[in-house]
């Protein structure tokens, strides 16, 4: 019997649950991964994906050595090189570009790991000191986040545990069983205690199946639904006048706006019945405590920011915040006492501040020439914690950008993703089991530590080590480049977090009130929720760029709205290459309602072509009433190389941005679907 130890870890994935994990290690090998039974949100359970984390870590296709491109851009052909050769050549190329204009260098990263150390710490310091372009990290949550900041002053909300006490829960724009499993456990507890669960989602998800009611609105119409509900709250006087008077600003403007939205008008926009709108308002406002679990599904359309502002007003109007089982949660990330400046060191930036490039329109950015108002052409891209070739909207442009022979691309990765295929250099990165990190969460109110369980595999290195080495080669001598990962972990939180204790216990609950806004006290300048802040005015319904109602001419050619929400057994594009999980998801599918399929003469299992002016995507059709009429669903995000024709659903999405927050509009996308020619059927087994 060898040496057996257990270490405290945290799930690194971009998931609101941020589970506390215990890793069992035997003779230097991670043999078991379990949810921490003592951490209240995790309560000992992990999702199917991360329960398989050892399969991912010890995957035979892990990148274990630096690689240099050995074929045309995007060919995916590489040869092994030493770390020394790779770092020296990368440093030489970056130094030469920086000598002309460092803004021609762009970092591209997101939340492949949510860790504060392996995310934006040494990496941000490195790019700040270099004077590289800044990246606007908008691809996921910035429409909803900006809306919460405007309304509540920060990204704050209910504690997830308190949903067990709610008597009615609106699950709004969320397939919780797939993407927020640990919230769902609390919702089920509430359900057993008699709570009514209502799911608001264009798709009949597995979560909708398990709720008492499913409201299948059209994509991008949530703002209209919220206005219709507010209209009903006023008409029936289901308002908490005292809470509104003492703890909110802008109600006169908001109520005037909502007066224009009787249930009939809202219903017509949403593709619902007026009774559905009225019933929803009644259920929401006449039982206490009532709670909303808002998620990001509805903010991926043009009006997503306004929709979140309108929905965020609801718990204030009925005084739901007075009790801890009432209120709303979209994100709790604003509660975490993170010292971003200490981690990222914006003081290292040159003056004037470099330009900012929006990650959500990376395709456009890579294809632009130097221009006033844009700045220099992008000559180098350093990608870490992200797989933009698969996940960024409008892949035809993204791929053309990444395929530029004159672009120098470095990708730090664990696997040879679609993005890594387009690299000049691939640098092998460690996984969560192999490096140190600290975490906050956007779905609960704890901070966590992740101790390394095993030594790095092969020659893999943590992101921090890679950027430290590049900083040294570029001659950056500031002390902050010498910080160890554990020192960075200690800098990550303010003094409310006792770092030494956190390392002993693995996780720690932030000292917050149970019902944080029972007596107002929102983190706005005057402590009141803002319905019509000066910068934005009152929110109204903002129609999608592309929908039958808002773009009737386009809809003549492309009459179906396509949404592409997360698949349950993947995490964005992570895990697509883990065989056991991919076999559960099967293959890329397009769901279509039987009426829409019959109208096109398409049958279940047929290969289809989904297309619009931007491109074409081929996959198998699934005829199912999970999709409502007029809406097709492509669960993703699949790696392009696993697709029939080497594409995924982002072949069809566009790069236009949300009303506020500069975010992508993945679910604001009209398409048409037709049978695919038989010679295009070849699918790899
Ligand atoms: N298993 C799994 N978990 C994940 C992820 C994953 O890929 N897989 N991704 C993680 C990430 S990065 C994030 S940001 C979160 C994402 O979290 P969410 O975006 O909340 O993802 P989902 O739970 O799929 O919920 C989106 C739901 O919104 C619905 N929807 C689409 N358009 C609209 C609309 O206009 N209005 C309304 N009301 N609903 C709409 C979709 O049908 C879908 O069921 O989940 C995280 N967790
Ligand atoms: N059509 C469509 N597109 C979408 C979405 C959608 O719903 N529909 N969702 C969008 C959303 S919400 C998001 S958040 C984005 C997500 O997009 P990304 O942030 O790109 O997320 P992933 O696809 O999970 O890719 C993360 C990559 O980081 C790598 N990685 C993980 N840990 C580390 C590490 O420690 N070091 C390094 N160097 N690499 C690491 C993983 O191997 C993985 O390849 O996708 C967006 N794209
Ligand atoms: S992906 Fe989410 S549910 Fe799964 S282990 Fe990680 S934090 Fe928990
Ligand atoms: Mo996301």
Write the pLDDT tens digit of every residue in 144-190: 999 999 999 999 999 999 999 999 999 999 999 999 999 999 999 99
Closest ligand to 566 CA?
1
- Taking the CA of residue 47 as reference, the ligand 3 atom at the shortest distance is 4
Closest ligand to 571 CA?
1
Residue 536 has pLDDT above 50, yes or no: yes
The pLDDT value given to residue 171: 98
Q: Is 296 in the pocket of ligand 1 (CB under 6 A)?
A: yes
Does 637 sit behind a cis peptide bond, omega within 30 degrees of 0 on the bond before it?
yes
Does 289 sit behind a cis peptide bond, omega within 30 degrees of 0 on the bond before it?
yes
Pocket-testing residue among 19, 52, 142, 179, ligand 1, by greatest number of atoms within 8 A of Cβ: 179
Nearest Cα neighbor of 316 from 223, 229, 219, 412 is: 229
Q: Is 178 in the pocket of ligand 3 (CB under 6 A)?
A: no
Specify the 3-state DSSP secondary structure of 33: strand
Closest residue by Cα to atom 7, ligand 3, is 18
The pLDDT value given to residue 2: 75
Closest residue by Cα to atom 46, ligand 1, is 15
- Taking the CA of residue 111 as reference, the ligand 1 atom at the shortest distance is 12
Enumerate the domain spans of the chain: 67-135+351-446+454-494, 143-330, 552-684
The pLDDT value given to residue 1: 58
Tokens of 278: 């009225």
Q: Distances in Å between the alpha carbon of 462 and those of 39, 82, 130, 279, 316?
A: 27, 16, 20, 52, 44
Q: Is 442 in the pocket of ligand 1 (CB under 6 A)?
A: no
The answer to whether 259 and 231 have CB atoms below 8 angstroms apart is yes
| pLDDT band, residue 417 (cuts 50/70/90) | very high
pLDDT tens-digit readout, 479-518: 999 999 999 999 999 999 999 999 999 999 999 999 999 9
pLDDT tens-digit readout, 311-346: 999 999 999 999 999 999 999 999 999 999 999 999
CATH of domain 67-135+351-446+454-494: 3.40.50.740
Q: Distances in Å between the alpha carbon of 534 and those of 250, 258, 530?
A: 10, 19, 9
Average pLDDT, whole number, for the chain?
97
What CATH number does domain 552-684 carry, 2.40.40.20, 3.40.50.880, 1.50.10.20, 3.40.50.300? 2.40.40.20
Q: Is 17 in the pocket of ligand 3 (CB under 6 A)?
A: yes
Sheet architecture: strand order including 507-509: 437-439, 446-450, 507-509
DSSP letters of 150-162? HHHSSS----GGG
Question: What percent of the chain has a predicted confidence (pLDDT) above 90?
Answer: 98
Closest residue by Cα to atom 10, ligand 2, is 140
Region 432-441: what's the mean pLDDT? 98
The pLDDT value given to residue 679: 47
Spell out the residues 6+ positions from residue 495 whose beta carbon is closer than 8 angstroms to its own: none
Nearest-angstrom CA–CA distance, 608 and 192: 42
CA of 7 to the centre of ligand 1 (A): 31
Nearest-angstrom CA–CA distance, 66 and 292: 47
Closest residue by Cα to atom 3, ligand 3, is 47
CA of 566 to the centre of ligand 1 (A): 6
Q: Is 114 in the pocket of ligand 3 (CB under 6 A)?
A: no
Residue 681 has pLDDT above 50, yes or no: no
Closest residue by Cα to atom 30, ligand 1, is 297
CA of 45 to the centre of ligand 4 (A): 22
Residue 458 has pLDDT above 60, yes or no: yes
Q: Is 360 in the pocket of ligand 2 (CB under 6 A)?
A: no
pLDDT tens-digit readout, 87-121: 999 999 999 999 999 999 999 999 999 999 999 99
| pLDDT band, residue 683 (cuts 50/70/90) | very low
Region 553-557: what's the mean pLDDT? 98
Region 9-24: what's the mean pLDDT? 98
Q: Give the angle 547-553-554 at the CA atoms, nearest 5°.
A: 55
Residue 684 has pLDDT above 50, yes or no: no
Nearest-angstrom CA–CA distance, 646 and 680: 12
Region 258-266: what's the mean pLDDT? 98
Closest residue by Cα to atom 6, ligand 3, is 11
Name the E strands within 154-308.
168-172, 196-200, 213-215, 248-249, 290-294
pLDDT tens-digit readout, 40-75: 999 999 999 999 899 999 999 999 999 999 999 999
Pocket-testing residue among 181, 440, 573, ligand 3, by greatest number of atoms within 8 A of Cβ: 181
Closest residue by Cα to atom 12, ligand 1, is 14
The pLDDT value given to residue 678: 60
The pLDDT value given to residue 52: 87
The pLDDT value given to residue 680: 47
Q: Is 222 in the pocket of ligand 1 (CB under 6 A)?
A: yes
**Using the 8-state DSSP alphabet, how is residue 657 labeled?**
B
Closest ligand to 664 CA?
2
Pocket-testing residue among 145, 157, 173, ligand 1, by greatest number of atoms within 8 A of Cβ: 173
- Taking the CA of residue 431 as reference, the ligand 2 atom at the shortest distance is 35
The pLDDT value given to residue 677: 75
Specify the 3-state DSSP secondary structure of 669: coil
Question: What percent of the chain has a predicted confidence (pLDDT) above 70?
Answer: 99
Pocket-testing residue among 53, 386, 450, 562, ligand 2, by greatest number of atoms within 8 A of Cβ: 386
Give this prediction's pTM.
0.97
- Specify the CATH architecture of the domain 143-330: 3-Layer(aba) Sandwich (3.40)
Residue 685 has pLDDT above 60, yes or no: no
CA of 179 to the centre of ligand 1 (A): 7
Q: To the nearest 10°, the Cα dihedral for 346, 352, 353, 358?
A: -170
pLDDT tens-digit readout, 367-398: 999 999 999 999 999 999 999 999 999 999 99
CA of 413 to the centre of ligand 4 (A): 19
The pLDDT value given to residue 420: 98
């Amino acid at each position: 019997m060898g040496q057996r130890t257990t270490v405290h870890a945290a799930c690194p994935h971009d998931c609101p649950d941020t589970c506390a994990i215990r890793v069992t290690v035997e003779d230097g090998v991670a043999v078991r991964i379990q949810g921490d039974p003592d951490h209240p949100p995790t309560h000992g359970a992990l999702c199917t994906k991360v329960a398989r984390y050892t399969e991912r870590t010890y995957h035979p296709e892990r990148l274990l050595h630096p690689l240099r491109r050995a074929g045309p851009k995007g060919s995916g052909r590489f040869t092994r090189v030493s770390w020394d050769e790779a770092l020296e050549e990368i440093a030489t190329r970056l130094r030469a570009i920086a000598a002309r204009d460092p803004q021609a260098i762009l970092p591209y990263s997101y939340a492949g790991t949510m860790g504060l150390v392996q995310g934006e710490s040494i990496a941000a310091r490195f790019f700040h000191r270099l004077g590289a372009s800044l990246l606007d990290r908008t691809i996921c949550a910035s429409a909803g986040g900006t809306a919460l900041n405007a309304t509540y002053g920060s990204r704050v909300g209910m504690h997830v545990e308190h949903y067990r006490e709610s008597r009615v829960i609106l699950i709004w724009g969320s397939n919780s069983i797939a993407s927020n499993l640990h919230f769902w456990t609390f919702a089920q507890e509430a359900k057993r205690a008699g709570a009514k669960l209502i799911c608001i989602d264009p798709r009949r998800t597995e979560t909708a199946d398990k709720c008492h009611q499913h409201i299948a609105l059209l994509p991008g119409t949530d703002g209209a639904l919220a206005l219709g509900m507010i209209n009903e709250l006023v008409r029936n006087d289901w308002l908490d006048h005292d809470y509104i008077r003492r703890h909110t600003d802008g109600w006169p403007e908001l109520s005037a706006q909502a007066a224009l939205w009787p249930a009939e008008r809202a219903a017509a926009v949403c593709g619902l019945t007026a009774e559905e709108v009225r019933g929803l308002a009644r259920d929401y406002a006449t039982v206490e405590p009532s709670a909303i679990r808002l998620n990001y599904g509805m903010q991926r359309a043009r009006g997503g920011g306004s929709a979140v502002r309108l929905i965020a007003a609801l718990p204030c109007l009925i005084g739901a915040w007075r009790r801890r089982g009432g209120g709303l949660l979209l994100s709790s990330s604003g509660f975490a006492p993170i010292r971003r400046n200490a981690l990222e060191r914006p003081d290292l930036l040159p003056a004037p501040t470099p330009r900012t490039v929006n990650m959500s329109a990376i395709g456009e950015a890579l294809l632009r020439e130097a221009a006033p108002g844009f700045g220099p052409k992008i000559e180098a891209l350093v990608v870490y914690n992200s797989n933009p070739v698969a996940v960024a909207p409008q892949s035809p442009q993204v791929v053309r950008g990444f395929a530029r022979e004159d672009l120098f691309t470095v990708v730090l990765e664990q696997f040879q993703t679609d993005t890594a295929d387009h690299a000049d250099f691939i640098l092998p990165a460690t996984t969560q089991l192999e490096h140190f990190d600290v975490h906050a969460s956007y779905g609960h109110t704890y901070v966590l530590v992740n101790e390394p369980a095993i030594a790095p595999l092969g020659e893999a290195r943590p992101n921090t080590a890679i950027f430290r080495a590049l900083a040294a080669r570029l001659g950056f001598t500031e002390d902050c480049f010498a910080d160890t990962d554990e020192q960075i972990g200690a800098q990550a939180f303010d003094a409310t977090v006792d770092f030494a204790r956190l390392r002993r216990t693995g996780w720690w609950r932030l000292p917050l009130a149970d019902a944080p806004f029972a007596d107002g006290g929102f983190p706005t300048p005057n402590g009141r929720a803002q319905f019509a802040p000066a910068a934005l005015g009152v929110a109204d319904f903002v129609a999608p760029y592309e929908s039958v109602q808002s773009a009737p001419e386009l809809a003549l050619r492309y009459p179906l709205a396509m949404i592409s929400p997360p698949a349950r057994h993947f995490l964005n594009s992570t895990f697509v290459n883990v065989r056991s999980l991919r076999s559960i998801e099967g293959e890329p599918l397009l769901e279509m309602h039987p009426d829409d399929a019959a109208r096109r003469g398409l049958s279940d299992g047929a290969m289809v072509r989904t297309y619009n002016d931007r491109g074409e995507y081929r996959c198998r059709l699934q005829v199912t009433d999970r999709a409502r009429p007029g809406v097709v669903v492509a669960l993703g995000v699949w790696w392009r190389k696993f697709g029939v024709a080497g594409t995924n659903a982002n072949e069809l999405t566009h790069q236009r941005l949300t009303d506020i927050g500069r975010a992508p509009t993945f679910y604001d996308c009209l398409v048409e679907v037709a049978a695919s020619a038989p010679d295009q059927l070849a699918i790899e087994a």
